Amino acid sequence: MKATPGQSHDEVFLQPGDYYFTQTPTRIRTLLGSCIAITLWHPLLLRGGMVHCLLPSRGAPAGAVELSGRFVDEGIRWLLREAVRAYIDPAQCQFKLFGGSDMFAALGITARRSIGEANAAMGVKILERLGLHVCARDFGGTVHRSLVFDVSTGDVWVRYGERHETELDREYVCA
């Protein structure tokens, strides 16, 4: 999506499972709950990308499949592939990971391990195993996050949602 007039950046919004890599000044935005976003940024070339992942892995796929941003393991592979295609050494990049909230905790729904926690653990495990530099991570909690990744600076801004105690007392109606 193009920037509005007067802005010096293009703007892109990622839906769950989406990914985007660019070599131009762009702000990549997304909204996270239990999903995680992973950013890759090269500080000298000012290029990078982001993926919005829903689940840790699809498991063992049957046959050859195209990489999907829906899964943390495949999303990281996609980011690395795009970096190499842009003649960028991933070892020279900075990686940042965000999200992984337990969105159902405030409703009293608990699990041994939340999807958000599993997503975060998978992302960190893969990047650390590859020896790649994770320079920031922000996981957990029980609220959503709104993210903006500025590819021209490598900055990522996070805005946290609010959860009010009174939300549990509201009656939810399904039409």
Q: pLDDT tens across 61-94, in order? A: 656 578 999 999 999 999 999 999 999 999 999 9
Query: Whole domain around residue 57: which residue ranges?
Result: 10-169
- The average pLDDT across 40-44 equals 97
Residue 2 lies in a domain: no
Residue 85: give its domain's CATH number.
3.30.1330.200
Stated pTM of the model: 0.84
- Give the up-direction half-sphere exposure of residue 128: CA atoms within 13 A in the CB hemisphere: 9
- The average pLDDT across 145-151 equals 96
Alpha carbon 23 to its chain centroid, in Å, reads: 19
Residue 3 lies in a domain: no
Residue 164 lies in a domain: yes
Please give the tally of structural domains in the chain: 1
Residue 1 lies in a domain: no
Q: pLDDT tens across 49-59, in order? A: 999 999 999 98
Q: What are the Cα distances from residue 110, in Å, to 101, 105, 106, 127, 172?
A: 12, 6, 9, 28, 20
Q: Tell me, what amino acid is at 172?
A: Y
Alpha carbon 109 to its chain centroid, in Å, reads: 24
- Per DSSP, helices labelled H in the chain are 72-85, 115-129
Q: Give the separation between CA 157 and CA 142, rounded to whole angstroms.
A: 18
Q: Give the separation between CA 9 and CA 95, rounded to whole angstroms.
A: 21
